[in-house]
Every structure is written in C-alpha cells, then in structure tokens.
Amino acid sequence: MEIRWVESHFFDPYKIANEMIIIHHTGSKNGKINSLEGTLAWFKPDPWREHSKASAQYVIPRYENYIVQMVRDEHTSYHAGESSWIIKGVKRYNLNDRSIGIELQGDGNLIEYSSFQYEALIWLTRRKMEEFRIPPELVQGHEHISPGRKVDPGIYFDWKYFRYEISSKTQIIVPEPYPTTQPPDNDVVLRYPEEREVTIPSGENPSFFERVLDIFRSLFG
Ligand SMILES: [Zn+2]
C-alpha cells in the first residue's frame, strides 16, 4: 500500500497519545462529493482561513490507489472538534490530541465507498492498531464521538464488515518497517507554539518523547 505525503501546516506538535482512531468522510456540497484536490487544499493553510483550521492524519481517495498522509501520527491534527469518549475507564473530551484522524473521500450519506477505500482503510487501521496498541473498541466514527452531528462517515459506511476485519485479524499482523509515514528525507522544520523552529537532520527520526525532552532541556536546562 502506497502512502503519499502531502504536508498540512494545520497541526500541533503537542499530543497526549494515540489512543483512538477516528473515521470521517470529507463530505459533499450541493449533492457533489468534495474532490480530492479540494479536500487536500482545505486541509492546508490559507492566510485568510486560519480561523477555521481543519486537518487529519490521513485521507483515503475514492479513485486513486494510494493513501495521502498530511500530519504525522505524533502530532495533533484538527478533525474531532467537540467530542468525547471513555478511554480506559476515563471520559475524555476534545479527542484531537488523543487520536489519529482518517478521512474517507466522499459522503457516506449519499453514496457507497469504493472497494479500494475499504481495503486501504482496513490496512491502515490494522497497522495503526498494532503500532499504538489500540483496541477495536477505540476505533470509532466521528458520529460516535460527537453525537448530534450529521452521520459521519455516513449511513452507507459498512461498520459490520469493517469491525469484523479489524477485530479478527489484527493480532496476527507483524509490523514491517514503515518509512513512508514520515515526510521526505530532506530536512524537516517543525513549528512549535512559541515559534521555535527545530530542524531534524535527515536520516534521524527522533521519537515524540525525545523531541519533547529536547524542548524541555532547551527551556529549563
Ligand atoms: Zn468528521
């Protein structure tokens, strides 16, 4: 499965944990499904749109045969909004900084998803469940964590099939090296809230905790 990196600057390097996976759809306007280009553009910043930040870690196109990643798993993206779920016995709110957001291109209240989308979504979800030890009950739709909103990923999304696929086979997957989730190999500049810029030399890929430790060292060391 190919993952292409299209960077969004709508993210926060602060994240608590990857405890949940949230499934969304990108929606429609006047009966027309949002295009992939339009969706990716919406998840990237425009100067006049800073107030309406939206992003997700992954977008799964309808017609192409690859997954798009826009935000690192270790960073917080803006997909869940007002939301809540019980995680390990504790009710948590506003789940962006505890989850990975996956967007399916389309509107699940208008039309079925493509078979590629199910294939890619199941592949990606199982992979992330393995990687972050996320149990099936913490894989939910936006409609579940934010009740009252429009059904998202929609009435046509086949939860029964999806849940079967992610529950029955997840435990036997052996994770492979997964370099494609990271941005291209050249130097990567991460933005921190205090406008500090940290350059990660190419070839190195420090963990989230190492990066947090570095920030603390530079602030208090
Ligand atoms: Zn959503």
Q: How far is CA 175 from the centre of its chain?
A: 19
pLDDT at 214 over 90: no
Interval 4-24: pLDDT, tens: 999 998 999 999 999 999 999
**DSSP line for 117-137:** HHHHHHHHHHHHHHHHT--GG
Domains annotated for the chain, with CATH where assigned, are: 3-172 (3.40.80.10), 185-220 (no CATH)
pLDDT at 199 over 60: no
Closest CA to 178 of 67, 82, 89, 76: 67
- Tell me, in angstroms, the distance from the centre of ligand 1 to residue 169's CA: 26
- Tell me, in angstroms, the distance from the centre of ligand 1 to residue 83's CA: 11
Interatomic CA distance for residues 92 and 204, integer angstroms: 33
- Tell me, in angstroms, the distance from the centre of ligand 1 to residue 158's CA: 16
pLDDT at 120 over 90: yes
- Tell me, in angstroms, the distance from the centre of ligand 1 to residue 14's CA: 21
Catalytic residue among 74, 103, 143, 165: 103
Interval 29-85: pLDDT, tens: 888 998 898 888 888 866 666 667 889 999 999 999 999 999 999 999 999 999 999
Q: Is 50 a catalytic residue?
A: no
Residue 201: per-residue pLDDT: 45
Contacts of 136 (CB under 8 A, 6+ apart): 129, 163, 166, 167, 170
Rounded to 5°, the CA angle 159-165-170 comes to: 130
- Tell me, in angstroms, the distance from the centre of ligand 1 to residue 98's CA: 15
- Tell me, in angstroms, the distance from the centre of ligand 1 to residue 25's CA: 6
Residue 171: per-residue pLDDT: 54
Cα–Cα separations (whole angstroms), residue 118 to 12, 41, 162, 164, 193:
29, 23, 8, 12, 36
Tokens of 176: 């492979």
Interval 131-184: pLDDT, tens: 999 999 999 999 999 988 789 999 999 999 999 999 976 554 444 444 444 444
Question: Strand, coil or helix: what is 28?
Answer: strand
- Tell me, in angstroms, the distance from the centre of ligand 1 to residue 220's CA: 39
Interatomic CA distance for residues 211 and 198, integer angstroms: 9
pLDDT category of residue 3 using cuts at 50, 70 and 90: very high
